[in-house]
Structure 1
Amino acid sequence: MRVLTAALALLALVAAGPLSAAPIVIKFSHVVAENTPKGQMAIKFKELVEQRLGDKVVVEVYPNSQLFGDDKVLEAMLLGDVQIAAPALSKFERYTKALQIFDLPFLFKDMAAVERFQQSAEGQQLLTSMEDKGVLGLGYLHNGLKQLSAHSPLRVPEDAHKLKFRVMASDVLVAQFDAVDAAAVKKPFSEVFTLLQTNAIDGQENTWSNIYSQKFFEVQEYITESNHGLLDYLVVTSSDFWNGLPDDIRAEVKAALDESLAYANDLANKKNEADKAAIIASGRSEVIELTDAQRQQWVDAMRPVWKQFEDEIGKDLIEAAYSSNQ
């Protein structure tokens, strides 16, 4: 009887077909809210993967630093605790010096130039510049060009002398403010509003969307439309995880990611324009538009930073990025 029961059970398994494999789980960790372009990109990516791969792949999105902040997420990714992250480009300094190129002041005249460089052969090669460390770039995610804000008006470089500006942890950004005889203070993004409100710092640099969403414009009397720098993100994974995916799965996941990045980058551009208009309409900050002569003074003051980091970044790479403005 036992033999018959076992035989029947085996026949039932054969009739049912092979056991389905456990789904591949992709944990996507990021630090911002779901209503931001980055948050919307992660949601779109999850939706597209589910549409195309069904139950073969499960994407779990963790916004608002629910799992890790940007300072810890890369280590967690290499340990396999998350599979995808999207830190600011400035966060990769310890993995490669080449990505410092995106912090150089006045390198790109607009986001169209940024896009041209990032999609160029040189920009795409940067995605694999950390592969020897186990980190693989999958694509660029825009936030936008940065503006300068302060408690006092900033029209020429001398206006920044002796002021304290918050920056991300980037040697290039420190050098940028050194170039105008200002002090750069490395502080977490989450502390900026309080630091400005209490006058612990005099100013900061950020995109229109961050200045608006974080309410920096409510505690800064002046915002100079400088467009002096870039704040973008790099969507990354671990080389081990990515190369371990079946070829057909990897291709579909990459296609879904590329589509979600294009969607979010369009959102980011529109949001910056809308948030700039909202700041102006609020009347809380005076938005200063630089004359061509004033802007050139900032360019001339900060351009030596390029030379300072030329050996680390690569002269040819800087020239390739600058040529994207043409």
Structure 2
Amino acid sequence: MTEVQGVYATKFKEVIEANSDHKVQIYPFGTLGESVDVMEQAQAGILQFVDQSPGFTGSLIPEAQVFLMPYVLPEKQTEINYFFKNSKVINEHFPKLYADKGLELLSMFPEGRVHITTQAPFESPAELNGVKIRVMTSPLLVETYRSFGAVPTPLPWGEVFGALQTKMIQGQENPMFFIESTKMYEVTEVITDIGHNIFTTAVMANKDFYDGLSDDDQALVQKAIAEATDFILDYQQGLEDESIAKIKAAKPRIQFVSLAEDKRAAFREASAPVKARFVEMTGQSGKAILEQMEADLQDAKGK
């Protein structure tokens, strides 16, 4: 429960239980199956709430993959926080898309910069040629890593560590805290930041369940969501540096690489066509989502 999502869920539980007679039971990731199993349980009403990245819901809600698009989200933390709390695309557009799938979108929040773990260093798309990188089951992530020069390999999370151990794949991507907490560094030699994305997650409720709550209980859920979101944004300050220190202590020989802007430019250029592929995959709905997101990000600049 020390993962970002676990900390968020714990805060949500605390607020609900402190302000009502309701009890919240938390199931850590992996205890109820893989991501596809958990989403099916939430849609069926077996689970009342679920926290899942758009990377896993890409086939269910293709437009949600906009959060996986490389080099779109800002790197400045204050701008990221402002965008996630105030953007129209999150607060107005996405709730309708999730509702169509039987889900009430309650919140989206960032979990930290995405880093790529590999067995050898790389500084250009050419140096990733033939390297098998595990990605979430998202068509857009497949397109992104193909543009980066790698061989994208969709795998359920439960298979990743073993696949790296057996050299079936050579790398994967995740925020630094997750690389540390899952001990992914044990089967990794290099951790690289190319500045391409922020890991995003979405908190949802089964829509029938949520709509059946009293006005007071819906207000309580919204209060708990708001407090948990504020809490988790503060909680993450310094988390990446702490995780790096823990990894260095556990494996001193591991290499940390942050590509300079001139090196990142090659990845930006190579992945530029991914934006057009997103629109091809999602049609007019996706095009409207992308345009609103770009307007929201422009609004967040300098905040």
TM-score, L = length of structure 2 = 0.89
Compared CA separation, residues 300 and 72, structure 1 to 2 (3 A): same
Partner SS state of residue 26, structure 2:
strand
Runs of 4+ more than 6 Å apart:
none
CA distance in 1 between partners of 2:43 and 2:167 (Å): 39
Partner of 1:248: 216
Letter in 1 for 2:35: D
Deviation at 1:317, TM superposition (A): 3.2
Does the alignment pair 1:40 with 2:7?
yes
Residues 147, 208 of structure 1: 8 Å contact kept: yes
Residues 90, 108 of structure 2: 8 Å contact kept: no
Does the alignment pair 1:96 with 2:64?
no
Describe how 1:57-96 pairs up with structure 2 within 5 A.
57-96=22-61
Compared CA separation, residues 316 and 229, structure 1 to 2 (3 A): same
Compared CA separation, residues 192 and 67, structure 1 to 2 (3 A): closer
Residues 12, 225 of structure 2: 8 Å contact kept: yes
Partner of 1:293: 262
5+ residue gaps, structure 2, are: none
Residues 195, 264 of structure 2: 8 Å contact kept: no
Deviation at 1:266, TM superposition (A): 2.4
Identity %: 28
CA distance in 1 between partners of 2:34 and 2:229 (Å): 21
TM-score, L = length of structure 1 = 0.83
Higher relative contact order (CA 8 A, sep 6+): 2
CA distance in 1 between partners of 2:27 and 2:255 (Å): 36
Deviation at 1:325, TM superposition (A): 4.7
Letter in 2 for 1:117: F
Describe how 1:218-233 pairs up with structure 2 within 5 A.
218-233=186-201
Deviation at 1:80, TM superposition (A): 1.8
Aligned residues: 291
Deviation at 1:318, TM superposition (A): 4.6
CA distance in 2 between partners of 1:65 and 1:211 (Å): 16
Describe how 1:103-142 pairs up with structure 2 within 5 A.
103-110=68-75, 111-119=77-85, 120-125=87-92, 126-142=94-110
5+ residue gaps, structure 1, are: 1-33
CA distance in 1 between partners of 2:120 and 2:235 (Å): 31
Letter in 2 for 1:51: A
CA distance in 2 between partners of 1:283 and 1:65 (Å): 29
Cα-Cα RMSD: 1.9
In our comparison, the structure showing a higher alpha carbon Rg is 1
Partner SS state of residue 112, structure 1:
helix
